[in-house]
Amino acid sequence: MASISMDEVQKAFGKVIAVDHLNLDIQDGEFFTFLGPSGCGKTTTLRMIAGFYYPTKGVVRFGEKDMTRVPPEKRNTGMVFQNYALFPHMTVFENVAFGLRVRKVSKAELKERVRDVLQKVRLDPYAERQVSQLSGGQQQRVALARALVIEPEILLLDEPLSNLDAKLRDEMRSEILRLQKEYNITTIYVTHDQAEALSMSDRIAVFNVGVCHQIGTPSDIYNEPANDFVARFIGDINLWPVTIQHVQQDFLLVHIQNGEDITELTVKNTTLPDEGDQEKKLALSIRPESITVSSQERDGVNMIKGTIEEVHFFGSTIHLVVRDGELTYKVNTLNNGGATSFQVGSDAWIELPSEQMRVIPIVSGDSS
C-alpha cells in the first residue's frame, strides 16, 4: 500500500494549464475520487500519478519517496482505462498474464497468480475465451484483473464504468468496492458522475477548469459545499445572491433580492465563509430536501408563503417549485400520503431552517 501526495502541482500543455496549484494527500488504502466536468483536469492528474505525464511544476510523492519524474513502469501502479485497452484477439488468460510476462515471472507462479485473480473477479470459467467474445462488463473485469495481477500499490481507474449500461454500472460499482476492500489497495477513481462519487468514495476532490475546489468526505462535499461551483455540481440546490445585513453572535441577518422587494432571512452564524472569502460575492444555499413545506398556514422564522408552480411526482418523493414574487424555491418532500394535497396553483408555506442554509462564495460568475 502507499499514500500519495501532490504538492503545488501544475501541468501545462503549451499555453493550456490543465492543472494548477494542486495540493492533495491521499491516505494508505483510501478510495479517493477525482470528480468534475469534462476537461477539468481529472485525467491529467491521474496520469501524473501513473507517470504517463510529468508535472510542469511541483512534486508527486508515494509515501516519502519523490516520484515526480519516475517512469510509469517503475511506479507499481495498476491502471484501468475508460476503453479497457485490452488485446482483443488474445484470451482472457493471456491478457491478464501480459504484465507478469513483461516482469519475467516464472511460469508456475504466473499461472497461479492469473488463476487467483480471475477467480477474484469471477471470470475463471472464461480464461480461454477471446476478449472480443466477452460482454462489456466482462471486459471491464478483465481490465481490472490485469491491473490487479501485478499486485500494485496503487490502483488507478479512469472512468471505468462509462461504457456500461446503468444496471451493469451498479453491479460493477459494488464489484470494484469489494475488490478494493479485499486487496486493501489505495485507489483513485476518476468520474464525472456525482452519484458514483458520493456512493463509492472515502473522500472526493472536486475539480473545475484545472483547479481543485474542495476535498472532503461525500457528506462534507454535499452538506458543506465550499462554493457555488461545488454546490451546483453535486446534487440539486437553491442558490441566490445574498448580502449580509447584520452579524450577531449566533445568527446572521441576510437579504436576498426578490424583484423590487427584499426577502429577509435568519441564518445560523456558523455557516459564514472564512474571512478571505467574505470579500467575494456571496450566495445563500439550501438543498431542496432541507426546506419543509405545508399546505396549511404556518407561522415561524424564515417562513414564506408562496404558490405552487410545479409538482413532480417521483413515488417516494415529490419535487415542488414554489414561487414567492420573483423568487422560486425548489422543495423536495417525502411522499407520506398527505402530500397529494400539493396542487399547482395552491398556496404553500415553506420554511427555510436557519441551520440548513449556508452562505458561500460565488466563484463561477453565475449564481442563478
Give residues in contact with ligand ATP (CB under 6 A): 13, 16, 18, 36, 38-44, 192
- Shorter beta-carbon distance to ligand ATP: residue 158 or 175: 158
Nearer to ligand ATP, 53 or 126 (CB): 53
Least gap, CB of 2 to ligand ATP (angstroms): 22
| Cβ atoms of residues 284 and 356 within 8 Å | no
Q: Give, as one character, the DSSP assignment of residue 1.
A: -
Residue 350's Cβ-count burial label (10 Å; 0-12, 13-18, 19+) is buried
Q: Which of 232, 226, 213 is nearest to 287 (CA)?
A: 232
Nearer to ligand ATP, 83 or 133 (CB): 83
Q: Which of 197, 196, 202 is nearest to 26 (CA)?
A: 202
Q: What are phi and psi of 55, to 5 degrees?
A: -65, 150
Q: Could you give the CA distance from residue 163 to residue 84 in angstroms, rounded to a whole number?
A: 10
N residues, the chain:
368
CB of 160 to ligand ATP, least distance (A): 13
Closer CB to ligand ATP, 43 or 201, in the complex: 43
User: Whose Cβ is closer to ligand ATP: residue 18's or residue 179's?
Assistant: 18
- Smallest distance from the beta carbon of 188 to ligand ATP, in angstroms? 12
Strand segments (E) across 183-237: 186-191, 203-208, 211-216
Name the minimum Å distance from CB 290 to ligand ATP: 30
Beta strands 154-158 and 77-80: pairing type?
A: parallel
Q: What is the DSSP annotation of 170-186?
A: HHHHHHHHHHHHHHT-E
Return the C-alpha cell found at 157: 481507474
CB 154 within 8 A of CB 91: no
Closest to ligand ATP by CB, 36 vs 361, is: 36
Residue 210 or 288 with smaller CB distance to ligand ATP: 210
To the nearest whole angstrom, how small is the minimum distance from the Cβ of residue 73 to ligand ATP?
A: 20
Q: What residues contact residue 273 under an 8 Å CB cut-off, 6+ apart?
A: 282, 359, 360, 361
Q: To the nearest whole angstrom, how small is the minimum distance from the Cβ of residue 42 to ligand ATP?
A: 4
Q: Which residue has the cell 413545506?
A: 293
Max distance between CA atoms of the chain, in angstroms, equals 79
Whole-number minimum distance, CB 245 to ligand ATP, in Å?
40
Q: Please state the closest distance from residue 79 (CB atom) to ligand ATP, in A.
A: 14
C-beta closer to ligand ATP: residue 38 or 316: 38
The backbone region for 331, taken as left when phi is positive above 0, alpha when psi lies in -120 to 50, beta otherwise, is beta
> Which is closer to ligand ATP, CB of 52 or CB of 98?
52
Nearest approach, Cβ of residue 213 and ligand ATP (Å): 13
